[in-house]
Every structure is written in structure tokens, then in C-alpha cells.
Homo-oligomer: A and B are copies of this chain.
């Protein structure tokens, strides 16, 4: 394995370990030495990649924001729905995404900038709404920046409620219900009737993304 590959893998190991420890302990109680033990790497390797606990947390926050790119859709509203539903699907299954959301909502994480995930998601959603608006999918009164903030904030709470009540098991239903409640006040009904808002949408698009990824990946030398 080339040195660069090894560095990338070590970084990933550290982020996974950090995600696990932050998820279990919360930001404030988590210690570098526990992350080190969980990761099973040298102290030198850790400090090379992440000079502090804050850097580790920022790394986790960035990872969860790294979304698989949603394929372009003719309807930007469908693309927005796909973005939200795939994120909900990943939140049910991916420890890195879970840890990222938990850090974002951790009021006890003093010293950690928790604004970035809200801001980044706000920008992603607003960009899609801007495009939807310019191709005539939105109702005339809609202000994309405001709607984006409502959607991002609402999703954060809907997932928190799902986590507290059902350990995220009903998250896809709740995310779909949120979109069914907000989009009719934003999107032309003639557009919305053709949009798939169902709770199975997340898994469906996630499978599509994995197939696309498999096509694009170079053949591995192993096997």
C-alpha cells in the first residue's frame, strides 16, 4: 500500500473511532486517549492528522456533510427530496452521520463551531430551491433562503424526535411526513404531483447511488 493510501486509511480509522466515542460519551466527556485506544493507532499518527479533540470533531462534522452526490433530476424539487431522504437513510445506518448530527445538536460541546452543518445544509438546500425557482417549479411568493432554513431546522428536530422516541426507526416516515407538510406551501401542485415523496425514496436512491459508484470505480487489484 502506498504511503498516501496508508495515511488516508489512518485518517479514516481515526474519524471512525472519534465518531464512535463522541456518539457514546458526548463531546465534552470524550477523551483523546479513548479515541486513541479505539482507533488502535500511534499517538504520533493521531496528532499528525488531528492536533486536538476539536479537530477530530470538526473532521466528523465534515465527513457527515460529505454527501454522495445526488444525480441531477429534471425536477429540482425531486432532487431536493432525494437529498433529504438519502440523508435520512444514511442517518439510520451510518455511525459517522449519526455522530455528526449528535455533535451538531450537542449544546455541551463548548469550543466547537456547531454552526457549519446548519449553514452548509442551508446552502445545499437553497441552491436546489434557487434552481427550482428559476425553472418555474415554485409558488410565486417563495423566498428560497427562508424555506431552506425552515427545512434544515425542521429536519434536525424531526430526527431528534425520532431518535428520542424510536431510536431513529421511524425516521424515514417522519422525514417523508415533514416534506409532505412543507412542500405544498412552496411548490406548484402541478409539479408536486409528479414528485416521489414516499418514505421508501431514500433506500431507492441510495441503491441507485451505489450502483453508479460501482460503475465508476476502477477495477480493484484484489480478487
| CB contact between A181 and one of B26, B160, B186 (< 8 Å): that residue | B186
Is chain A's binding surface mostly helix, strand, loop or mixed? helix
**Centre residue among A28, A149, A159, A164 by max chain B CB count within 10 A:** A164
Task: Report Cα–Cα, A28/B28, bound state, in Å.
Answer: 10
Interface size on A, residues (CB 8 A): 42
Q: Is A70 an interface residue (CB 8 A)?
A: no
Point out the residues of chain B lying under 8 angstroms from A195, CB to CB. none
Among residues 149 to 182 in chain A, which have CB atoms less than 8 Å away from a CB atom of chain B?
149-150, 152-165, 174, 177-178, 180-182
Complex Cα–Cα for A162 and B122 (A):
13
Q: Which residue of B lies closest to A170 (CB)?
A: B149
**A64 contacts the other chain (CB 8 A):** no
Tell me the number of copies of this protein.
2
CB A27 to nearest CB in B, in angstroms, measures: 9
User: For residues 90 through 122 of chain A, which have their beta carbon under 8 Å from a beta carbon of chain B?
Assistant: 102, 104-108, 114-115, 118-119
Do residues B163 and A149 form an inter-chain contact, with CB atoms below 8 A?
no
Chain B, Cβ-Cβ closest to A122: B161
Cβ–Cβ contact A153 & B182, under 8 A: no
A147 at the interface (CB under 8 A from B): yes
Residues of B near A118 (CB, < 8 A) are 161, 164-165
| Chain A contacts to B: CB under 8 angstroms | 25-26, 28-29, 102, 104-108, 114-115, 118-119, 146-147, 149-150, 152-165, 174, 177-178, 180-186
12 A-B pairs with CB atoms under 8 Å apart are A102-B107, A104-B164, A105-B105, A106-B107, A149-B177, A150-B154, A153-B158, A154-B154, A156-B156, A157-B158, A180-B185, A181-B182
Known contacts A28-B29, A153-B174, A183-B185; can you find 17 more A-B pairs with CB under 8 A?
A26-B108, A105-B160, A107-B163, A149-B177, A150-B177, A152-B161, A153-B160, A154-B154, A154-B157, A154-B158, A154-B178, A155-B157, A157-B158, A157-B159, A180-B185, A181-B182, A185-B185
